[in-house]
Amino acid sequence: MSTHAYVVRVAEDPADREACFTLRKEVFVGEQGVPEDIEYDAYDAVAVHVLAVREDGLPLGTGRLLYGAAAAGKTGGDMTVGSLGRLAVTQAARGLGVGAALVRAVEDAARARGLVAVDLHAQTHALGFYERLGYVAYGPEFPDAGIPHRAMRRVL
pLDDT digits (tens, 9 = 90+) for 100-136: 999 999 999 999 999 999 999 999 999 999 999 999 9
Contact 112, 82 (CB under 8 A): no
Three-state SS at 11: coil
Distance CA(108)–CA(95), nearest Å, equals 22
- Dihedral sign, CA of 64, 84, 10, 110? positive
pTM over 0.75: yes
Residues paired with 119 in a beta bridge: 83, 153
DSSP summary character for residue 5:
-
Q: How far apart are CA 126 and CA 154, in angstroms?
A: 15
Query: Can you tell me whether residue 13 is helix, strand or coil?
Result: coil
Beta bridge partners of 117: 81, 155
Q: What percent of the chain has pLDDT over 70?
A: 97
Q: Reply yes or no on whether the pLDDT at 152 is more than 70.
A: yes
pLDDT at 96 over 70: yes
**Bigger pLDDT: 2 vs 3:** 3
Quote the pLDDT of residue 2.
Answer: 46
**What integer pLDDT is reported at residue 136 of this predicted model?**
98
Pairing mode, strands 147-155 and 117-123: antiparallel
